[in-house]
Structure formats: C-alpha cells, structure tokens
Structure 1
Amino acid sequence: MGVYTTSLSWPLALIYGGVIRLRHLLYNKGILPTRNFDLPIICVGNLSTGGTGKTPTVLYLLDLLGDQKVATLSRGYKRKTKGFLIANNDTGPADLGDEPHLFHQQFPEAIVSVGEDRCAAVDQLMHLPDPPEVIILDDGFQHRRLRPGFSIILTDYSRLFSRDYLLPTGQLRDIRKAAKRAQMIVVTKCPTDLATADKEKLTNELCKYGPKIVLFSYIHYQKPLSLTSGSVADLSGPVHILLLHGIARPKSLREYVRQLDPDFKEMAYEDHHDYTTADIQNIKNAFRQLPEGRRMVLTTEKDSVKLRQFDHLTAALPIYILPIKLDFLFQGEGIFNEQILAFTHNYKH
C-alpha cells in the first residue's frame, strides 16, 4: 500500500485543486452561505470518486436507527426523474437510482428520498405530515450548502485518501484537508486479518487530516439468495460461477468469488449500468459457456434492482444475489454505534 502512482496530468490536477480550495475558502469565510437544520443530519461521504462502501454504511445506519423515524436523502445518480421524490410502492430504480431503491426495498418503513438540491429536499422532508427525526445524507460531503451535524468519511483500504491525488492524476474529488470537517473516518474493505500494528499506523496517518476517531470495517458476504425465489444457494460442492456486476471497485468482490470458484467467469459493466435486453442475451450466452455441472450467475444487490425488470427473460437463469453486511474490526462496532446514537439522542441545534 505505497503512495499511488501519478501521471503527466499534474497541471490539470493543480488547476482543479485551486478551484476546490477557492470554493472551500468562500464557504469557510461565509461568502457562500451554508444552512443548518433543526434536526440531526448524518452525512455519509468520501473524498474520492466512489466505490468506498457508502451503500452498506447507509444500510447499517438504517438498521442501527430503526427505533427512530429515519429519512435517507440521495441525489439519485442516473435516475430518469428530476427534482424531489419520495419512494413508494410504484417507484423503481429508474425513478430513484440504484441505491435509494435498494434502501427502500430493505427498509420500507424509512422515508427514502432523492433530490439534487439537498437543502430544498430537507425543507420538504421537514414539512411532511410525519417528518423524520433524523436524516441520513447519502454522498453529500461535498454539498457544502448544507451543514450536517455528523459527517463520516469512508476511505477504501486499498486506496486511502491520504495516499491519493486529485483528479485527474488520482481519484480524489476533494482535497485531503477537507476531512477536518468530519467527525469520523471509516476505513472500508479491510482484510479481516489486519494486524493491530497496521491499524495503529494507519490511524496515526489518517488522524493528521482531522478526525480523531478512525475505525476499520470490512465487507461480510452473506449466503447468496435466488433472485426469483429468495432461497439460499447450495454452496456445499463445486459450482461454476458467472460473476455479473456494475460496481466501481470490485476487487474485494472478485476475491470472495474466487474462493467459491477459482476459475469463475466475469461480466463487468460500468458503475450504475442500466441493463438492456441485449445485455440479458449476452449474459445468457456467457452462462451457456460455463463448464458442465452446477452453475449460477452471481450478482450484487445493487445490480439486482436493475435485473428484476427482466424477470420474463431471466426466469430460466439461476441468478443469485450476494448480500453484503458492514462489519467492524477491533471492536469498532461499539464505538461507531455509541457515537451515532449519542449524536441523534443528544442533538441540540
């Protein structure tokens, strides 16, 4: 995990960094206005371009805050709608975006909302007949017009923001020092055997940028579930897998699937890919080319919300969803839960 390589794009990165620093200065000096709201808002964000594990973190928070009236607010990346929208029985991934639709599926009692203008969206949430007691702001760390009470920065273990560079040289969309606005850093997708000495070293490295609470998490893969019936997959013997996904950083996913099938095949699409009828045909063709024996198509929860619209075409395919759960190393779960619950229960404007 050394310092990441750079390229000849340094001049563009310097210009981009100058624009970002000027923007922060204008907000810090009050020249550009920020807004506070009279309820606890938890922001889950990052400094990079994505793939750090925001979705499992939001799902973890929804579960943790289950005894409160919770709303999630996302931009709704790549959705076909505009403006403010609340999920209901008639909305789908095209209306909300992949992740918000997944939030709604797993936590139908929560108010799952999308809106490009975060401040205007919070105003509308607060004026609902049954308004939320707490709002989870999904991927809103760069949205400085809104000032959350508690911000969590996620950073991928394999690409720490402390060792990355600004776009287009690296994958940072914000400067490292922006982390000082956060209350917590969570290093995601860690190896489960991370040594205590490495944890201490990385904690000291990341604490230089602001937050003194640094936690370490990993993706806990659950048993695959059938897309059609919800039944649990039988992994007791050899199985040939076609891995199907459209996610930003699939490294840990590939490593896990390799444990199930060392020779698995893969169909990788861009992040937030909208599947088409032609894609389904290509998936069928790739599935037929798997070796004889027990075979399955394995996909992510995020991709599954897009694939469901093709049930009539995929009925004959054994497609399984691989659920994931956020877990913490070094007893970090207790610290995380305590910090979040203390913030929401003791919130004062």
Structure 2
Amino acid sequence: MNRAVVLFLLSTLIFGTSLVILSNHWFPIWLGLELSTLSLLPILNFNTWSRGNEATLKYFLVQAFSAALLLNGATLNLWTLGTWNITNTMEPFVHSIITLALIIKLGLAPCHFWFPDVLSGLTFNNGIIIACWQKIAPLFLIVNLNSLILSELIIICSLLSVLIGAWGGLNQISMRKILAYSSIGHMGWISCTLFFSENAAILLFIFYLLNNVLIFCICNTSNLYSLSSLSKINSNPTNSALFTLALLSLGGLPPLGGFINKLIPLSVFTSNNSLLIIPFFIAGSLISLYFYLRVTFNTSLTLFPQNSLGLLSSRSSNPSTQLPIISILTPLIIWGLLLIPTFYLFI
C-alpha cells in the first residue's frame, strides 16, 4: 500500500478517535466512531489472505452493528428530549441501548465472542490497533456517561469478562487468542474500576497499553504465533527477557508493576464497600496468572524438540547479543516503582 495512503488512513483513524473524545454531541461521536472503523478496514485488509479477510469482515459487521445501536439510542434521545447533548440521556430504554453498544465495542462479556476470532485472524501490528487504540473511544464515552448509563449492567459484564477472560485463555495454544482473552479480562478490571474511580481506571488503561504494545511488538518481531513457536525467541535474549517480564507484569506477579495494578482496583473496591465483587476479581486474576506462567515457562525453561544444528546454534553464546542488566530492569523500574506512589492515592 502506498505510504501516503497509509498516512492518510492512520491520520483519519486518530482524528475519528479524537472527535469522539472531544465531542459532547451524539452525531459527531457517531461520526468519529464510523471514521475510525472505515479508515481501519483497508489497513486490516492489506494482506489479502482468506483468514484476514474473514476477520476484517467480522470486525466491520460487529462495529457497524454497535454504531447503529448507538445512533438509534441517540435518535431516540433526540425524539424524547429534543437534544443531541450526551449529558441529557434520561430514558432507561435509551440507557440500555447505548450501554449495549459500548459493551459490544469494548468486547466485554457476554458480547465478547467476536474479539478472539477477529484478533486471531489479523497480524500482530493490526492487533495492536484493535486491542489497544480502538478501546480508547468507548472507554472515554463511558467516562463521560458515568453517571447516566446503567452502572449495574457494566459491573456485571465486567465480572463476567474477568472470569471468561481467565477461563478462555486456559486451553489456548495460539498467542493471538491468549492475548485476546487477556484483553477481555483486563477490560473487565478497567470497566468496573471506572465507576468507582476514573483516575484509577485511566491509570490501569495506560498500564494495559504499555504492556500490550510491548508484547504485541515482540510477538511480531519474533513470529510467536503459537506456544510451540516460543523457542524462536531464545535467539534474542533481549526480547526473551522483556517478553517474560511484560507477561508476568500483565499477570500481576509481584514485585512487578502489574501487582500494584491489581492492588489499586481492589483498594478502590474496598474503600467503596464493594466487597462482594472482590473474590471474583481475585479468582479471575489467579486463573489468568496460570496461563501467563505457562507461556513464560515455555519461553524460558522448556527446550522444544529440534535438530542438533538448531540445538548447537541456540546454545552458542555471542557476547554482543547478551542482554544488558539495564534492559532486564527497565520494565521493573519504570512500570513497578513508578506505580508504587500512585497506589497510595487510591487507598
């Protein structure tokens, strides 16, 4: 694809998301969501292979359906109240329609079925856009509509997302599906925290973006499409160490930053006397940590079957490719130690 065309599509994608974030009017919000979807479709369909075409078509149908629901809800709100302003949504039926549209766009359970299928049919570079960038606009809409939409429905869907995201990733061997179910689980954490503390939810989302972008980039450069291909990363010690640390941090293993990232929501739930939902989140976190540990075990400790030449080449040490100590400690220092002071803001 021509570089100018790619730049135009990416700028349109950024403009559509910015339009959603900065607007208080339903029509520009719908327009921004449609611009983001339509500009993303040629990028997703750049590699013309059957699985990618299927994933692109599924993504288009789901996003078009959710945007149509959102537009219908805004039109009903205009009919009943005579305004396009997003702060004047009062009808319960309109609340339900708009909440359902945002749930579909975020991929929260039980409307999560499209997300693993779509992500497993795309490249890792396109997966970054679907799993990270395209989550920004729906989350900011939930922030703006925090006091208006059905918080109980979002909280129930968040609980289901944490549990389904944990159980769904247990029996997967595809890295893209593992990352998809991981994203579903983390969206559950972020969405539920959002109704108690917006600052804490934004912090969780930033941490989610940092880890996911790093993991997707490493998977793309090392061609890690399944668990059996994780031995390829051993040829690059830097990628292997960063991949392991990022996965364990995403799973919430102390003392990495992800552990503080799990303590912040739990402290927010405790301070708001929402103790009944805490066991569900802890159970989902422990189950998801299991398949994170399985991936890191296969990356670091298991020597997959290979021929003698490959065995000798993987065991040969090149001093120029050895991992510096600073590269190992960078995720621990930046994502762990910088998050520790922020933890006390939410206690």
TM-score scaled by length of structure 1: 0.27
In proportion to residue count, which structure has more helix? 2
In proportion to residue count, which structure has more strand? 1
| Structure possessing the higher relative contact order (Cα contacts under 8 Å, 6 or more residues apart) | 1
